[in-house]
Structure formats: C-alpha cells, structure tokens
C-alpha cells in the first residue's frame, strides 16, 4: 500500500483522484461480482476499499471497521486453537 501511495503522490491531484476512483471502484465491483461467482470476492472488496480509502472518508471508515472486525475474528480463532492444544 505504501508503494501505491508513493506512486500516486507524484501525480497531480485531479489525476490522482481519477486513478484512485477508477482502480478502487473496479476492484470493488469485481469483488461484488466474485461474491456470486467463483473467486476471492472478499479479498477484492477489501482491496477496493483500501484503494478508495486513500481519497474518500467513508471508505476509510468502512475499511477501519472491517479491519477491526477481522482482528476480532483472528483473536477468536487463535483462542479456539489454544484451547484445543491444552
């Protein structure tokens, strides 16, 4: 993500905004399509939101909430595996 930020920082703002919107929404739409067809839909949705969060506040908030939810799920899985090992 840092490489993408540094690459986009070199572009003028209108171009950066347009590129971010196009790439982010394409990834988001592909992720939604992959939810009903074979493919990593959730991963593409997450990537699309991550790209969009570079420019849009609601995507940033949604991405933050998604990461917090993912952290909770990972913590629950880790605790379940620790109980099984004892």
Whole-structure pTM over 0.85, yes or no?
Answer: no
Which domain does 25 fall in, by range?
A: 2-85
What is the structure's pLDDT at 22? Answer: 94
> What total of structural domains would you count in the chain?
1
Close Cβ partners of 85 (under 8 Å, ≥ 6 residues apart): none
Residue ranges of the chain whose pLDDT lies below 70? 1, 84-86
What is the structure's pLDDT at 33? Answer: 94
């Amino acid at each position: 993500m840092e490489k993408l930020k540094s690459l986009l920082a070199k572009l003028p703002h209108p171009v950066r905004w347009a590129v971010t919107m196009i790439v982010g929404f394409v990834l988001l739409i592909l992720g939604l399509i992959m939810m009903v067809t074979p493919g990593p839909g959730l991963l593409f949705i997450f990537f699309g939101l991550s790209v969009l969060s570079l420019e849009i506040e609601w995507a940033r908030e949604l991405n933050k909430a998604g990461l917090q939810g993912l952290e909770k799920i990972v913590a629950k899985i880790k605790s379940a595996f620790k109980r099984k090992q004892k």
